[in-house]
Amino acid sequence: MTWADTLLLLPELIAATGASILLIVPVLGGRARGHMAKWAMLALMAVTALAVIGSTYAVAGVQQTPTFRAMFAVDAFSVFFKLLFVVVIALVTLLSEDFLSEERYSTWEYYSLLAFALCGMMFMASGVSLITIYIGLELLALSSYILAGYYKNHEESTEAAMKYFILGTVSSAILLYGISLIYGVCGSMRLSTIAAALSTMLSNDALMFGIMLLAAGLCFKIAAVPFHVWTPDVYVGAPTPISAFLSTGSKAAAFAVFARVFYVAFPAFHLDWSNVLAAIAALSMIVGNLAAITQTNVKRMLAYSSISHAGYSLLGIIAMNEMGLRGILIYTMVYVFANLGIWATILMLRRHAYAGESVEDFRGLHKRAPFAAFSMVVFLLSLGGIPPTAGFIGKYFLFAAAVQAGFGWLAIVAVVMSAVSMFYYLRLVVAMYLEEGSGAETIYSPSLRFVTALSLTVTLVVGFIPELPIRQVIESSSHLVGRVVQR
């Protein structure tokens, strides 16, 4: 560990230090000034983002020590995801503002936990050893359990935290067993060493089982089907901004890990595990979309829709080719922004101090808040994958990757299920534009307006001029893909 290594760790160090400072402020007399917390958090995010960008320039000339290199990588892939995480956390901070002030809970600790979660996510994106990845994952998970139960005076919130906690710890025990089997077969926890060990190996049952258990643990985090039961309850019970965080940031981080682990470590056994993951993906798409149709609560509907989106994104991992990896990166970005926009609209609608939960709350929204209604339509079309929104570009990459890799049937399932998903997305559009109703009152604060506008901009820009973001994604993913091509 040298000073040069520390320089590469700078974003994580800044996030961790900032989180600790946020924790100390109320003790130093900042308790009364809760409204300052938001600005402190946003400033921290800005500095972290600068540090992430700065560390990319630091990579070029800096000599890293081998022990450090075995744990942690600053590459274009991780930088892409880290910037995405920082933006997500900044937007979640903006989403939380109204909610926190209404519910009168301490704000500094809340933001501090969010910053710690960001720290865990960044370690997940950068980890190249299963140890670093596991610890980053647990840091994110622990912060999420606490945040899900943050409104402890609400029984639903505590119950959501309990369910999330029990299922989360079970899944991490399963993940650990998988890691232990992989360690037992390969004798190492470093991803590139695992890949090297596997390339000389014939089929191995214990290893397959280890990979499956590892995948099961990660599937819990992305909420893919056999491991999805927690999703609807936690999204409904947790504080709404935290539901937004769980369905975007936390999932994106899990996908970063999924992509890195499977693309770097397990390409040699692709034929063996791809069929199992294909079944999981197909089930996620089918169960998620069909269950979403029957929901009347918008949060539950979004939960099931997020399960189905986990299925779409898995196509990129199953395909295991350049296009697939790019598809994951683009789709994660697109999905995150569309979803954050939708959660902002939900937060905007209030009924008895509760965020807009039922479809009826959306009735006649275009008269009361035309901008919100319009952007909501764009987000829903993006989630459904309708051109010219960004979702189309993401789905195009993923489906094309699946076809390229010989998983045509899976691509067909995905297309059919996208069509099915339009059914319940359009139900919201119909409620907003064609139905009359007083619905819930709307409180459209500047923060929410900003989140909606930013998400709308990204969704439309990626949809209309995809060249620029795609080139960025290609650069970010090229070195991971390089390994795949080399094999």
Least distance to another protein, CB of residue 270, Å: 20
The smaller minimum CB distance to another protein, of residues 233 and 322, is found at 233
The CA distance from 316 to 254, in Å, is 14
Please list every residue from 165 through 204 that binds another protein, using CB under 8 A. 165-166, 169-170, 173-174, 176-177, 179-181, 183-189, 197, 204
> Tokens standing for 451?
């989140």
Interface mask toward another protein for 237-256; x: CB under 8 A: x-------------------
- Give the total of residues touching another protein (CB under 8 A): 72
Any idea what the Cα angle at residue 92 is, between residues 476 and 289, rounded to 5°?
75
283: Cβ contacts below 8 Å, ≥ 6 apart = 224, 225, 226, 311
By CB under 8 A, which span of 94-102, 125-133, 329-337, 468-476 interacts with another protein?
A: 125-133
**Among the listed residues 135, 286, 426, 453, the single contact to another protein using CB under 8 A:** 135
Q: How far is the CB of 429 from another protein (least distance, A)?
A: 26
User: E strands within 237-361?
Assistant: 349-351, 354-355
119 close to 12: Cβ distance less than 8 angstroms: yes
Closest approach of another protein to the CB of residue 129, in Å: 8
Question: Which of 209, 374, 396, 433 is in the footprint of another protein by CB under 8 A?
Answer: 209
Of residues 4, 50, 162, 484, which one binds another protein by CB under 8 A? 162
Residue 72 interacting with another protein (CB under 8 A): yes
Cα 408 to its chain centre, rounded Å, is 26
CA distance 274 to 270: 6
What is the spatial distance between Cα 380 and Cα 401, in angstroms, rounded to a whole number? 24
- Find out whether 79 and 56 touch, Cβ atoms under 8 Å: yes
Q: Is 272 among the residues that bind another protein (CB under 8 A)? A: no
Reduced to 3 states, what is the DSSP secondary structure of residue 190? strand
DSSP state of 263: I
Interacting stretch for another protein, rule CB under 8 A, among 47-55, 150-158, 370-378, 433-441?
Answer: 150-158
Cα separation values, 139 from 69, 291, 301, 433, Å? 21, 31, 28, 43
Instruction: Give the full edge-to-edge strand order of the sheet including 349-351.
Output: 354-355, 349-351, 441-442
Q: How far apart are CA 159 and CA 487, in angstroms?
A: 47
Describe the crossing of helices 270-293 and 298-319 by its angle, rounded to 10 degrees: 160
Residue placing its CB nearer to another protein in the complex, 110 or 337: 110
Q: Which of 37, 45, 70, 414 binds another protein (CB under 8 A)?
A: 70
Q: Extract the tokens encoding 9.
A: 């760790």
Token duo for residue 221: 């985090």
Strands 441-442 and 354-355: unpaired
In angstroms, give the least distance from the CB of 281 to another protein: 22
**21 lies in the site for another protein, by CB under 8 A:** no
Adjacent-strand bridge partners of 441: 350
Distance between CA atoms of 172 and 134, rounded to whole angstroms?
9
The binder of another protein chosen from 71, 223, 314, 347 (CB under 8 A): 71
Select the residue interacting with another protein from 36, 54, 155, 441 (CB under 8 A): 155
For residue 467, give Cα distances in angstroms to 215, 313, 330, 335, 336. 32, 21, 12, 18, 19
123 binding another protein? (CB under 8 A): yes
Pick the piece of the chain touching another protein (CB under 8 A) from 29-37, 88-96, 228-236, 286-294: 228-236
Q: What angle do CA 161, 119, 328 make, to 5 degrees?
A: 85
Q: Is 478 in the site for another protein (CB under 8 A)?
A: no
137 vs 377, beta carbon nearer another protein: 137
Q: Kindly state whether residue 338 participates in binding another protein, applying the rule CB under 8 A.
A: no
Site for another protein in 77-116 (CB under 8 A): 104, 106, 109, 112-113, 116
For another protein, the closer of residues 260 and 368 by Cβ is 260
Binding another protein (rule: CB under 8 A), the pick from 20, 294, 438, 457 is 20
Q: Does 7 bind another protein (CB under 8 A)?
A: no
Contact segment (CB under 8 A) with another protein among 132-140, 331-339, 344-352, 409-417 equals 132-140
| Nearer Cβ to another protein (173/485) | 173
Q: How far is the CB of 186 from another protein (least distance, A)?
A: 6
When binding is defined by CB under 8 A, the residue of 55, 96, 107, 143 that contacts another protein is 143
Query: Coil, strand, or helix at residue 349?
Result: strand
